[in-house]
Amino acid sequence: MSVDVEVWVRRVEQVRPALFTASEEWQDDEGGELALVRDEWQLLVGSPEPADVGDADPAIAGYLDGSEQLIGIALEPIGAPFEAFSLLSEVVTLLVNRCGGAAIDVETGDGLSAP
């Protein structure tokens, strides 16, 4: 099981710079996904994909203007140590603040937005 977060962003050109601010240890895979792998856990960040704001959770839909792209983030396993959750929080906050948009924890419905 994993912790899954959806991040809706406006400025996709800022995604990689934001991620590399959090850590310089990201590994690129052939599909454009970035992974930060540790012995006991991994953080996976998908490539931005065009998305319909109508598919966004109502908790964050009001913060979206229709030009967003969707990035899926997964932290595996769900029982990862505090360090992993701290980095997940940092990555999500950096993406929302630098790229503009909003994020939501798919399981809990907790949201985060930025101008």
Res. 14 pLDDT band, cuts 50 70 90: confident
pLDDT of residue 75: 96
Q: Is 112 helix (H, G, I), strand (E, B) or coil?
A: strand
16: pLDDT strictly greater than 80: yes
pLDDT tens across 30-65, in order? 777 899 999 999 999 999 999 888 888 888 888 888
> DSSP characters for 5-60?
EEEEES-GGGHHHHHHHH-S--EE-TTS-EEEE-SS-EEEEPPPEE--GGGS-HHH
Res. 115 pLDDT band, cuts 50 70 90: low
The DSSP 8-state label assigned to residue 96 in this structure reads H
Gap between the Cα atoms of 115 and 112, Å rounded: 11
Name residue 6's beta-bridge partners.
72, 104
pLDDT of residue 19: 87
Q: pTM, whole model, 2 decimals?
A: 0.90
112: pLDDT strictly greater than 80: no
- CA 80 to each of CA 21, 67, 84: distance values in angstroms, whole numbers, following the listed order: 22, 33, 6
